[in-house]
Structure 1
Amino acid sequence: MKLKHYIYALGLAASLHACNDDFMERYPLDVPTDNAFWTSENDLKLFLNKFYPTWIKGHYSGWSDSNYLYPLPVKGSPLAYGDVYSDNAVRTGNEFSELGENNRIPTGSGANNNGWVWSDLRNVNYFLTHYNRADLPKETLDKYAGEAYFFKSWEYYRKVMIFGDVPWITKELNTDSEELYMPRTPRAEVMDSILLCINKAVAGLPEKGKEESGRLNKDIANFLKARICLFEGTYRKYHTELGLDGSKFLKECETACEALLGKYTLYRGDGETSYYKMFTVKGANAFSDNPEVILGRTYIPDEYGHAFQRYYDQNNSNRQAMGATRGFLEEYLCADGRPIYVGGSEGNYEVNPLFKGYGMWKELDNRDPRLTQTVCRPGEYVTIYKNGSVDLANGIEYPNISYSSSGSTVTGYRFIKHWMGDQIENDAVTKGVQAAIEFRYGELLLMYAEVEYELNGTLTQQQVDMTINALRERAGYDFNAYPTAKLMVGQEPADPRLDKIYREKLDYTVSPLLREIRRERRVELAMENRRYEDLMRWKAGNLFTVPLRGMKFTEEMQALYDGSHTDRLNGGSAAKITIGKDVYLDDEGYIICYPKSPYKQTIKGCLPWHDYRYLWPIPAEEIRLNPNLVQNPGWIEAEADK
């Protein structure tokens, strides 16, 4: 489905806005109450239209610099910037607070804090209690109810991810509703209710090809069902402290995946650069020739757009400069399908002959083709476009490495995924029309591979070939030149570096095959806002404590940034970098991310982790207003210790 923005504009024009949130929305809805409204199919569509941009955010709209509050304050496109709150990327600054020890219990209302916001669900419930007033055929009513149940499922799934137990509300609330003071509903009951809702969405929505252009269909609902059920099934499996069996959700995930297998194919329209090009299309028909997109948000030229591309850090770094981490790069395999270290132990690793080591970006050579379509070498993509004009005269342009917002990258590794290098798109400012992919078949294949492993403890070779190996082939791996690039069940490559991290940081064993499934997911879905959620459901938050590092600042690098190459550096202002002032290095010479973070650890550039952070705190004001709410475990004690 290619969701077009004319529907968003129509929904916003309907003026169906909710009042300000506070205490589970005590005030009446600012929505039509006249019985005459609920009479036609068009009335139902008008009411539902506003839900689309609420949940299907894409690259946002307008200046595209709003805060994304579920649950982390990502500023701008959640797809492009969401990974700065994971171990994949870091943003600007010497200190990091949102996942650090100074993240306290919010004191204001949920509307201004971390996601304890209920107006959207309130509006969905309002629809579900009024839509059947319309005298329409049951199939028509079920179709629009399916849309509402889809959005209700999506919102509640995210609330469970953030808070765990949450109140399950099924009706519109008034100022005297008893539900305003209800306690949190147990997680198991909420998730069963979410499953019921998403199954209603699947049942009620039309088949793909039979829906009205721009509206939800059964395939989209099955994809969301797969994502929800994989989350809950694996969360229960690895968070054994819950005492909940996740097998039902894993089986439901499998069912949803199987409903989509073979209905879509991976995009290959741009050959070896298909992976990169897939995210750099624009216009109302951006996905018309892309068989991989299941749900995408498109924008209409000269009518409705965004400024995301203008402020992406490759272009103008005064919004959200960021950089890829060394740990993220190390997860990418070499061109032969083996890791950078193929044997030995820390301090005495056996290096893959294809790996060239660190310094001057040579670590990007001979790697998984997706690496240089996600993180660019200097001179690739960005050289042809500089500060609003084409500039080839100065040759290779090197990144401005800085902890400040004036830098083009924090770590020396500049992200290129989602970057268009399109001057017209840049100059369009808030009318940019770069399209955004929300659901795609590549993720569906990864969900299927993972759920089959979690259910059966292994995969068949056929399943690996249709999922992981298909993704690698599309990315550009040469299976003829390097037969080991194809993953073979029972012949998984050794990875002593990553296995050591898993042994030290996780409280369960990760088999070689599961390691490769998770690796493929991290690589394929990088910069698509999936990593944080994955770490939470895998009970892998302790991976945040792996030191966050950038590139190795070798003597050759220091010479490049000695002040004599201003014409070849982005902006010129950071042409001279002084170690210990402009950048800080660890004992091995790697850039330390967040070097001045005042946390209680011996290694700078590490984030602390405590298991109570798997759930976020309920704002204190909400508990004051409703004493039946109970704070998530660990937060009150943690604040008392500060």
Structure 2
Amino acid sequence: MKNRNIFIALALFAGLSSCDDWIDKSPLSDITEENYFRTETDLQLFSNGFYNSILNKSPYDEQSDVYVQQELSDEMLGGENRIVPASGGGWSWTALRSVNTLLGNVDKCEDAEAAVKYTAVARFFRAYFYYDKVKRFGDVPWYDKELFSDDPDLYKARDSRELVMTNMLADIDYAIDNLPTKEEETSSPFRVNRWAALALKSRFCLYEGTYRKYHNLTLEGNDYAYYLQQAADAAEELINSGEYHLYSTDNPEEDYLMLFAEEDANPDEYILAIKFDYGMSVYHNATAHTLVPTQGRPGLTRKLVNTYLMKDGTRFTDREGWETMPFTEEVKDRDPRLAQSIRTPGYHRIGQTDILAPDLSVSVTGYQPIKYVQDPTASGGQVDRNDRSTCDLPVFRLAEVMLNFAEAKAELGTLTQEDLDKSVNEIRDRVGMPHLDMAQANANPDSYLSSADYGYTNVTGSNQGVILEIRRERAIELTQEGFRFDDLVRWKAGTCINQSIMGMYFPGAGEYDLSGDGQIDVVLYDEGDAKPEVPDAQVYQIGSDIVLSEGDHGYVDYHHDIVRTAFNEERDYLYPIPINERSLNPNLTQNPGWNDGLSF
């Protein structure tokens, strides 16, 4: 087909769905394949859309067993709340079509070096796109060319997971070999470079290796160990390069918090970030999400809070009485990242001096998040309004790559103390935490992290202890960065979704100073008693305004009346293919356990 119209990159922000993705065309214009893709500027402008359409721009609000909102996600509700959609459901190929459009026309560029560079950019994003699809659906059709309405491949069956992964590896290896370095890419960390490609490789190979290991998935081709080794090698190459360093000003009480709250992405640690800017009116909602009661009322769960170690490196859950410890006691002398992830006694907004207590009216667990919460003067003083946050959001940062490296080697059985010292222990050094000792961890695995009530029951073997500790570190360091649910899936740890969702512990009616400033912040009173009049305090009646797990005392149990169905081990690790897609293409088989009423 001659003179086929193309999608200009910035117009790709609007999503299309279903098979229409392949045949919808933009209105006739003067820009055609014959006169476009000729210069590096053309290629750059066209590829700009990939960043918007493929990267996750709101990782801070993804729910899991350690982070919930007022309305639970379908994944957290389980059972019949998860249905086969008629359309949508993540089965969209618009972004891939635009990637393949660039790849099909890049040779028209008169600048040979630019053609190689943007081929690498496109292949990076194609690997990223397919990583999301494999996570969600398993086997998916592999397309490496732009399709049109008369192409028989529109109706092909799903390709094997191994074929897709093999092609993803080919794409990412090309990107690693041909993308510019950090120094060559002057827009770093906002454009992909060689190191971002290594980070992506470490991420998707770790996912695939652990998924196959824990799901006991054997396919013709490479085994789980192959992918884990690929992950370890890619991560180690990036770590050893010395191109990136963990952000630190030698202030362990603030550095973790400031990394995520600063207006501009830190180029030492952020390998790839998404740019937000007040002047360009490009915003996200992270600050208002945790401050405004209509924006979800998010909260960390007590299960996650329990996993933060004491400041001396000992386990909180080894302390006597940890189960019923009230808030001001449980948060004392903990890993400094706890006080940089939620409001704890002494908390104040960046640049402010007023001490603020956790606000139970905006956090359903009481553990109110502060990650990504900016200085109140940011965004022209509008940052607390809906969709007015402007701190850049991470896509890849060095800490994740370090954790990928440690976990891959631990799962392979090749981890050494030296490996931990240049990965997990570097991360701990930032916040002044004692180092993880491999021998000690394996000699005494944490029973909390391996329990059916709180942890992972399928981690076994000689490296059980250190694997559990790396998972602890990952949950804490990467909280609100969009990893947790995917981690549970690849670890075959869906039972964690079934575990209880609890918040702060209150021993009963009374007055509580949660901020540590000597002032009463929260008052709880029993049904039938007169409502206390306490100035500037949050006042709640037990049983109506606030529900406690044991009636007159216990954990905050906001979701007590929500019917949750157990995670379906035979179904819920993959998502269903929408009904309309299977109707249009009968060669698409449905994922196990999902009944869409179609039979071909």
Q: What TM-score, normalized by structure 2, do the two folds share? A: 0.86
Give the letter for the 2:265 counterpart.
F
1:564 counterpart residue number: 532
CA contact (8 A) 1:182 1:628 kept: yes
Shift of the alpha carbon at 1:241? 4.0
Tell me the residue number matched to 1:179: 153
- Provide the secondary structure at the position in 2 that maps to 1:614: coil
Corresponding position of 1:453: 410
Partner of residue 542, structure 1: 495
TM-fit CA distance, 1:584? 4.1
Task: Please list the CA deviations of residues 18-74 of structure 1 after superposition, one character each: whole Å capped at 9, or x if unmatched.
Answer: 77322262414428434011322221112111112223344xxxxxxxxxxxxxxxx
Which of 495, 509, 523 does residue 446 from structure 2 map onto?
495
How many Å apart are 1:169 and its aligned residue?
0.9
221-230 or 299-308: bigger deviation: 299-308
The alpha-carbon deviation at position 377 of structure 1 amounts to 1.6
Match in the other structure for 1:371: 338
What is the match of residue 229 of structure 2?
A: 251
Q: Secondary structure of 2:273's match?
A: strand
Query: Does 2:307 correspond to 1:328?
Result: no
Match of 1:21 in 2: 17
Map of 1:42 onto structure 2: 41
> In the alignment, which residue of structure 1 is the partner of 2:86?
108
Q: How many Å apart are 1:580 and its aligned residue?
A: 5.3
Letter in 2 for 1:56: L
Query: In the aligned structure 2, how far is the partner of 1:508 from the partner of 1:540?
Result: 10
* Of 106, 109, 112, the match for 1:131: 106
Q: How many Å separate the matches in 1 of 2:404 and 2:439?
A: 20
Q: CA deviation at 1:593?
A: 4.3
Structure-2 change in CA distance of 1:193 and 1:583 (3 Å): same
Q: CA RMSD in A?
A: 2.8
Map residues 203-602 of structure 1 onto 2, 5 A cutoff: 203-213=177-187, 214-243=190-219, 245-261=223-239, 262-269=242-249, 271-272=251-252, 273-282=254-263, 286-287=264-265, 290-309=267-286, 311-313=288-290, 315-342=291-318, 351=320, 358-382=325-349, 392=354, 397-401=356-360, 407-425=361-379, 426-427=381-382, 432-455=389-412, 457-477=413-433, 485-492=434-441, 493-501=444-452, 506-509=457-460, 511-555=464-508, 560-562=523-525, 563-564=531-532, 567-569=535-537, 575-579=539-543, 582-586=546-550, 589-599=554-564
Cα separation, 2, equivalents of 1:624 and 1:358? 55
Q: Distance in 1 between matches of 2:409 and 2:401?
A: 12
Change (3 A) 1:204 1:416: same
Whole-angstrom CA distance in 1 between matches of 2:16 and 2:451: 49
Map 1:17-166 onto structure 2 (within 5 A).
Answer: 20-23=16-19, 25-30=21-26, 32-58=31-57, 77-78=58-59, 80-82=60-62, 84=63, 86-93=64-71, 97-99=74-76, 100-110=78-88, 114-137=89-112, 139-166=113-140
Instruction: State the TM-score, normalizing by the size of structure 1.
Output: 0.81
Cα offset for 1:596?
Answer: 1.5
Contact 2:201 / 2:234 at 8 angstroms: preserved in 1? yes
Structure 1 residues 249 and 496, CA, compared in 2 at 3 Å: closer, same or farther? closer
TM-superposed deviation, 1:106:
3.1
**Structure 2 counterpart SS, 1:148:** helix
1:383 and 1:217 map into 2 onto residues whose CA distance is: 32
Counterparts of 2:456 and 2:248, CA distance in 1: 37
SS in 2 for 1:438: strand
Residues 351 and 469 of structure 1: CA distance in aligned 2, closer, same or farther (over 3 Å):
farther
Check conservation: 1:18, 1:123, Cα contact below 8 A: no
Tell me how far apart the structure 1 counterparts of residues 260 and 13 of structure 2 sit (CA, whole Å).
Answer: 32
Which stretch has the larger CA shift, 186-195 or 293-302?
A: 293-302
- Percent identity between the aligned chains? 33
- Structure 2 unaligned blocks of 5 or more: 1-6, 513-522, 526-530
Aligned counterparts of 1:567 and 1:176: Cα–Cα separation in 2: 71
Any conservation in 2 of the 1:222–1:256 contact (CA below 8 Å)? yes
Q: 1-side partners of 2:568 and 2:350: how far apart? A: 39
Q: Structure 1: state its 5+ residue gaps.
A: 1-10, 59-76, 343-349, 402-406, 478-484, 601-606
Q: CA distance change for structure 1 residues 16 and 328 in 2, over 3 Å: closer, same or farther? A: closer
Residue 378 of structure 1 deviates from its aligned partner by 5.0
**Residue 618 of structure 1 is aligned with which of 555, 564, 577?**
577
Pair 1:557–1:540, CA change in 2 (3 A): farther
The structure-2 alpha-carbon separation of the partners of 1:97 and 1:207, relative to structure 1 and needing over 3 Å to count, comes to closer
Q: CA deviation at 1:414?
A: 0.9
